[in-house]
Amino acid sequence: MSLSIENLLLAMVNERRRNKTDEDDDYVHIQQFNSQWPKLFQTYFLSPSTRLSQTTTNTTSDDDLIFYVTRHVDSDFHHPLHLVEVFRHHDTKRQPKLAAPEYDWEETTNLNLVLHQFEYTVTTAVCTKTSNKHLQILKRLSTKVYASPSRRDMESKGTEEKITYPNIYFTVDNFEDTFCEMVVNEGQMVCVELVAKNLRLNEPKVLFLGSIKYEALKKVYETRATTSTRVAQRMSLGMYTKRRVEFVRMRGPNGKGHAEMAVSRCRTIQSGITTPESIPSTPMSSSFDEESWNKCRALDNISVSRWIPPTSRQQQIASNVTTPEVESTDIQQELADDTSGFLGRTLSQAMSWMRGSSSRLNQPMQQTLPLQTCLTYLTLPCQFIVKDILESNQMPILTF
């Protein structure tokens, strides 16, 4: 019996419709016991004869990892705390019993779908709106990223891994090299698009698509840079010269996930060509795949690993306070907005120059501050990813 990814997605759509729940918690509990999620998980991810091959290897192996999401309720009943367990595929004796009530089988199926059945490409582009409903791409770069339910903390130099599930992270390895040419100027915007692909499916799935205008990035960068520089200068008696890199979080349209960018100023050399200043090496999370996961946890000797996310939601929120957030704009809405076209942008720049013309009479014309933008990571809740995979028909704009 040969099954395909199309069969799995169709079965998941039908099961989601059949088990559509309301706000009654008792009803949800009953539906879980009567659902077909354990059977779907067993058929497409466990059974040696019917399980799907992984997109990363295009094969199935006994060393493949299988992920299980437990059902656990935190002290706050309305905010369940999920744990994630991982086993090798051949370790059947240690794997949880199929349909065991302490596991969330829908979430388990979702997580394995996201981690094993799709390849992900993130594209960043510097664009300008030349006219209504027309976006000109000035520079575009794409790179392959990997889905992971955890990430390494930059503050601990990449040695401490933090569990992020149900948030899935797509980290850009060596972001300072990958996106070093992404320089944005006044009147331009930075666009970010994340696309999921499976070779068996005809259409890629857009998971994230947002944009930030230069003006918003500059405002955050200058505010943060001024504050941090003053502190550094006081501590170094005014001899502080280190180049600044500020991290800005782009909140997805309608609050859907977020992407983080490392923003720094660019220097202009005599030829007039703007080049990024050198970026110091910054430890970042490595990409997630089975091989790296096995090395990190030495699963040759340990058959099961349990991931326990931070128990304090306040600690998670506090860790994000230092990184400013900017609401991104949906690109489709940006194209529909008639106020930021070429004419409006030109008039705005002209008025801005005239307002300061009196102070420029005896000075050379000042140029705008070019900013280098490097995407460091993008994160989305697992349920949003699955929803777009199953339901979205949005076509990619930046990714080819």
The H-or-E segment that residue 189 falls in is strand 189-197
**Three-state SS for 306?**
strand
For 93, 243, 244, 373, 381, the CA distances from 247, given in Å and listed in that order, are 46, 13, 10, 10, 21
The pLDDT assigned to 186 comes to 92
What average pLDDT does the segment 184-189 reach?
A: 93
Residue 157 pLDDT > 80: no
Q: Which of 162, 183, 178 is nearest to 268 (CA)?
A: 183
Most confident of 314-318, 327-331, 383-387: 383-387
CA distance 322 to 317: 10
For 39, 57, 99, 195, 306, the CA distances from 44, given in Å and listed in that order, are 9, 16, 15, 23, 23
CA distance 267 to 262: 16
pLDDT digits (tens, 9 = 90+) for 258-313: 999 999 887 554 344 444 443 333 333 333 343 444 444 333 333 344 544 443 33
Answer whether 68's CB lies under 8 Å from 97's CB.
no
- For 273, which DSSP code? -
Alpha-carbon dihedral of residues 284, 285, 289, 292, nearest 10 degrees? 90
Question: Mean pLDDT in the chain?
Answer: 75
Residue 343 pLDDT > 80: no
Instruction: Residue 269: count other Cβ atoms within 10 Å of its Cβ.
Output: 9
Burial of 298 (0-12, 13-18, 19+ CB in 10 A): exposed
Q: What are phi and psi of 339, to 5 degrees?
A: -95, -15
How far is Cα of residue 266 from the mean position of the Cα atoms in its chain? 25
Answer whether 380's CB lies under 8 Å from 166's CB.
no
The pLDDT assigned to 225 comes to 64
CA distance 229 to 108: 47
The pLDDT assigned to 221 comes to 87
